Amino acid sequence: MKKKTVVLITALLACVLFVIPAYAGSGTPKLLVDDVELNFINPPQISKGTFMVPLAETVNKLGGEAAASKHCRTITAKVQLNDLYETVNTIKVTAGSKTAYLNGKPVTLPEPAVKICGVRKDILVPVKLVCRAFNYDVKINHTTGRAEVLTGVAVKPEDKYAWVHFIDVGRGEAAYIQLPGNKDILIDTGDREHGDKVVEYLKQHNVDDIDLLVITHTDAGAMGGVPAVLKAFPVKNIVDSGYDDHSDAYREYEYLVQMTGALRQTHASQTFKFDKGTVQILTQPRFYNDAKANSVAAYFKFGKVKVLFTGGMLKAQEKNLVGGIKADVLKVANGGSDKSTSKELLEKVNPQAAVISVSTGDQENEPAEEVLKRLQQRNILVYKTLNQHIILKTDGSRYIINQVPAPKSKKGTSMVEK
């Protein structure tokens, strides 16, 4: 009888050990992040099969913030993710409780949170709770006492996303496209007055050279800032309309381009491919006797997200844009003048959002009511660069648009999701 009892107890113990592995290793449990072991003041512990870590210390080491209540009974941690939306997650834990709160929603813990009363007061929580807040994967080996966290941040944000910055240069045109792999594209440079502002903006974003410069037309609002830009940065490729308006500004432009040694091309339906993202030129020379009528149109694609730049294109020339040119965002030509942005163009492009360059307090040159009405009739979200930069951020499948106050602006910031 005793023999049967011993066998039965042994079998039951084997089952328990199989379901909840025990820590059989020696020494302190270890937490590794991307194969790098973290050192703790309050080391991790394994309690009844649950790998526990000090909440505040772990969150701080992973780049978050944590604040404790008096006597460290409760800890609230905040984590900002490097995702498209820059999501902020919060954790709130009370010592002795099996209920934690992730973004205000209750989460049942396998073991109660344990208060640590050491040199640095903290609260032990399951490592899986912390990883859930950071959106990290974790693999736990109870036999060796190791928890391995995989952050997935080997791909840096700058190598994962693309940004399109519609810079506030009054009614002029200037858009900076920031691509993975340190690739930089500039479409127009604003007028001469804003040239230095464009240069300053690019330097603030760590631009050291320009891979592609597109000058859509020779009017001052698009080309005036070229001298400042060419003097500040090496430029590899330049595309323009090839239209000579015989102005002094155009002679200066030609001279500066020649001095830089950049490869200059006239628009001819060419495509510029980068590691991630392409810029397709949709136009070719037609040589109308008008700078804007000869405008270059550029089509930027990053994954499934597309942006169309029509420069100073007029309604008559918009008809020349053929093929698949649907875009998520349209850069409205000529500051929203009724000379551009026809109903037919909007039907072809079918954008969800439109960006209009607007100058401060210039009532005469505000976007035309007719254009705004056409945009509104199609439920197109309208953004204006009035004392603010409009910045699109995309991962290639989704995008968000931020309105970022320009210097000396009192406006706020808003975000719209696709």
Question: Which is it for the CA torsion 275, 385, 295, 214, positive or negative?
Answer: negative
CA distance 331 to 310: 7
Residues of the chain with pLDDT below 70 are 1-27, 152-158, 360-365, 408-418
Residue with tokens 């002029």: 172
CA 312 to chain centre: 28
Largest CA distance in the chain: 111
Res 360: pLDDT: 65
Instruction: Show the domains of the chain with their CATH numbers.
Output: 22-150 (3.30.457.10), 157-417 (3.60.15.10)
For 355-412, write each residue's pLDDT tens digit: 999 876 555 557 999 999 999 999 999 999 989 999 999 999 999 999 998 875 333 3
> CA 345, CA 322: separation in Å to the nearest integer?
10
Residue among 127, 133, 123, 174 nearest 147 (CA):
127
